[in-house]
Amino acid sequence: MNWPPERFPRMRREAHFGRVFNCFAARPAQLNALVAQTLSLHANDEALVCADRRFTYAELDGLAARHAAALARDGLRAGDRIAILCANEPEFVFALLAAFRLGAIAVPINVREQGPGIAFMLNQCGARAIVFDADMAQKIPAPQDAPRLALRYAVGAEAPYARPFAPAAFPMTAAAAPEEETAVIIYTSGTTGQPKGAMLTHLNLVHSVMHFEYCMQLGTGERSLLAVPASHVTGLVAVILTMFRVGGCVLMLREFKARAFLELASSERMTHTLVVPAIYNLCLREPDFGRYDLRHWRIGGFGGAPMPEGTIRALAQRLPNLALANTYGATETTSPTSTIPLGEQAAHLESVGVIVPCAEVRVMDDDGREVAHGETGEIWIAGPMVVPGYWDDGAATEREFCGGYWKSGDLGSIDAHGYLLILDRKKDLINRGGYKVFCAEVESVLSLHPAVAESALIARPDPVLGEKSHAFVLRSDPACTADDLRAHCALHLADYKLPDFFTFVEHPLPRNANGKLLKRQLRNRGTEERISE
């Protein structure tokens, strides 16, 4: 299937980052131009709602301009990295738009990240400033542990070494950043467990929000509920920036709870969202689901994990006006790469959709040769949404990019009608409710515990989250418990990365003749060993 060409702006081939691909010929020059264009059409329309705080586009733009002026007054300049460690709240958006206006690079960090991970990201990208929720202060590294972090701005209360995150009295004119410049760095874990900073450029972000706009047929008056972290590529691009492109309103939910989601969706007349399937499952389980007024909800995007067929049927029965759309992408593709056309989800339950117009997808074998339609191989992705590489990590960039394509690590195929199927993952990761847990990272942390001789992490199916993590551990001290290891991991890892289950084994973990761990055997015996939850 091809997208109807009349629905999209004209495309042309262009050269960027040493690559050649299709681009939308008519597009905003960069993110400040995108926001300015929306402001000119929707100045008095609602742009942002969070609890009892509401902002029009004019108010939001004014606050962003004054925050940018405050950052500039303190010595921050174009190209500086400004980290943002804030929950789903207006200050996240103020800081993001202020960084764009300054020509700086925003570095969103998930508030569930722990101190060691935050310190690594700040130092790896050389962040000069951080805007953070005051209740996160204990996670921020001390000055001697982040020597380049010159400025700290606290939101909501006072914090050590920090000044208040407050706007200046007068606004700052927006910078005209070149579209190939990096606008955002988002850290994504790798199979080695070492986070990599994907460089999302203005060109990448503009094309992704336009893909969402046209593929999901979004327009003026949309009200999108942000239920995933604003720091995640889905929250940042699919919800926040896409709404700012179409002149819609972002409804911010600070922390997901099914009842709170339904109450906000109902009271604020939500029309759109993009979340993980677990959120739909949890909402349907609410005993009073039927009392919420969800008649305005037109588009239910989902991604990060398969949607159970039972959930799709239940939603069709209870919300007949809701069009579901499975969407596939990654941080490196600035999300999305493919999406199901509206109204087609029920007919293509196994698919993650049709390739978005400007993207190119190849299915390649292990020798770097393209396979025929219907055959399985690794998904390689190219286009104006694909990042140029990783921040200050040439080795990872060279390893994961080839000939202008990003090698996704996902195994899949494209059927005769152009629908993309994802069948398995080459990368050793667990998808826990849309949060990616890379096994090597958790195994590395477990290895630091003195009682752990060796460990291996595998996925276990879960009816709500899709997958949970299960650690097999050979211990040198039988007094060591699952609670001991979970507490140890909590010192180093975000909470969603902590193993959900532990099995303590009496013999070394199974390996082949080359010493490679045989995780397939562990998956087969997962229910046979003693499990500690």
Structural domain boundaries in the chain:
25-414, 429-532
pLDDT (0 to 100) of residue 336: 96
pLDDT (0 to 100) of residue 515: 58
| 90-102 helix and 57-73 helix, angle to the nearest 10 degrees | 60
Unique residue bearing structure tokens 């919300």:
319
Q: Which residues of the chain have pLDDT under 70?
A: 189-193, 512-516, 526-533
Burial label, 241 (beta-carbon count in 10 A; 0-12, 13-18, 19+): buried
Q: Could you report the per-residue pLDDT of 216-228, keeping only the tens digit for each?
A: 999 999 999 999 9
Please name the residues in contact with 424: beta carbons below 8 A apart, sequence gap of 6 or more.
Answer: 410, 411
The residues pairing with 432 across neighbouring beta strands, listed in sequence order, are 435, 466
pLDDT (0 to 100) of residue 191: 47
Q: Which amino acid is at 376?
A: T
Burial label, 513 (beta-carbon count in 10 A; 0-12, 13-18, 19+): exposed
User: Going by CATH, does the domain composed of 25-414 fall within 3.40.50.12780?
Assistant: yes
Please name the residues in contact with 300: beta carbons below 8 A apart, sequence gap of 6 or more.
Answer: 272, 273, 280, 315, 319, 322, 323, 324, 325
pLDDT (0 to 100) of residue 518: 81
3-state SS assignment for residue 29: coil
CATH class entry, domain 429-532: alpha beta
Decide if 190 contacts 396 (C-beta within 8 A): yes
pLDDT (0 to 100) of residue 495: 94
Q: Could you report the per-residue pLDDT of 478-511, keeping only the tens digit for each?
A: 999 999 999 999 999 999 999 999 999 998 888 7
Unique residue bearing structure tokens 């002149």:
247
Could you give the CA distance from residue 498 to residue 486 in angstroms, rounded to a whole number? Answer: 6
